Structure formats: structure tokens, C-alpha cells
Amino acid sequence: MEKIIELSVLALDQKDENKFKEQLESCLKNNIKDIHYDIMDNKFVPNTSFNNLEFLDYLIEKGCNVSAHLMVENVAHYVDKLITKKVKYITFHCEAQTIEESISIINTIKKHNIKAGIAIKPNSSLKEYESLIKISDKITVMSVEPGFGGQKYIENSEIRIREIKKLSHKNLIVEIDGGINDQTILLCKDDATHFVTGSFLFNNLEKFEELKKLLD
């Protein structure tokens, strides 16, 4: 399965549309087209980001492969908006609603030919959410507490990826999100499929190809 590095949109300017577009152009010039689109509602996590899907249409228009990560309480509300867009993946936090509600949401997303799955906090029980792991196309494993960029990678987060793989299917895409840089990516390169990095990559755009080579 192809290894993919996703740039977290949190690294770009959320307040100035022109600045955002200028920064995105710099990313595209460095062959970065896989974008991790973080949506926060200041309820599930104590922060707000891209709550009104700012610049999402522009990302899609520019040919970016968008993976939406919902850190919100009302998951269904945001899913209803996202399934009308050409996003590639949608993951949402399993802790935000019941397992039954989550199953229904995953099925809704898949009906729109979008890959679906859950995001899971560092201390959440994997066993509790095994039924969701089994039906997910993609799991976003948090290697920091969700809500803010620039945090330090939580030690041994890569072990959770191995545990998740034991509970799921061979085609599962497992994504590691939080504190990923040129050192921590080495810890999980053999276990994860997608790697989310924000400020580290944005501040070192010219090193993108070098970072990809670390996954070989």
C-alpha cells in the first residue's frame, strides 16, 4: 500500500484568504497535494478551525487530495456538508457519539464513494471501538491530544497502530496524526500508511522529497 504524507491545513493561514492561497501555491510547487483538513468546533475540542469549511472548495479546485478530519460534536451535521464535496476521505472521532450512530455515519459516507473511518484519541480503548475499526476504510490514530497543532509526539503511539491492525482488515489505511517530523516518522514508518505533518513540513517545504524517502 502506498505511503502518503499529508500536510495539515492547520499550518496554513486560516484568517487571510489571499495568504492561504499564496501558501498553498508554495506547497503545490513542492509537489505537496495531499491535504489533511482539520475541522474543529470549539466543543469537542477547545479550539476552532475551518468550522465553515473555509477554502475547502479552493483546495479541491487546485486538485488536492483532501482528507477531512472531524474534531466536532455534531458529526452528522458536518458529514452532510462534506459528502457534497469531492473529498477523498472523512474520519471523525468515535468518542463524539454512540457506536450505533458512528456505524450509520460510516455507511452514509461510503454510499457517496468517499472512504470513511474513525479518528481515535491516544487514551481511548481500542477494544471498545473494535466494531468501528473493522468497518473503517481509514483510521486516524492521534499521537497527540486533538485540538492544537505543534504538539510533541506521544511516546509509543506506533504501538497503537499495530494493535489496530490486529483488530481490522488488510486493506485498512492507518494514519498517524500529531508531532510527526523527520525523527518521529521513522518510529511509525513500518506500521502506518498515511502520515500527517503540519508546521514541520510547512517550515521545510523544500525537504518534502527527503521526508518521503525516509518511508522507503
Q: Is 177 considered catalytic here?
A: yes
Q: CB of 194 within 8 A of CB of 175?
A: yes
Quick one: CA dihedral 55, 56, 57, 63, positive or negative? positive
Q: Is 182 considered catalytic here?
A: no
Q: For residue 214, how many C-alpha atoms fall within 13 Å in the half-sphere facing its CB?
A: 17
**Per annotation, catalytic residue among 38, 41, 137, 191:** 38
Please state, as a whole number, how many other Cβ atoms lie within 10 Å of the Cβ of residue 61.
10
Q: CB of 196 within 8 A of CB of 185?
A: no
**Per annotation, catalytic residue among 34, 137, 177, 191:** 177
The closest alpha carbon to 192, from 178, 204, 208, belongs to 178
The closest alpha carbon to 45, from 167, 184, 177, belongs to 177
Catalytic residues: 38, 177
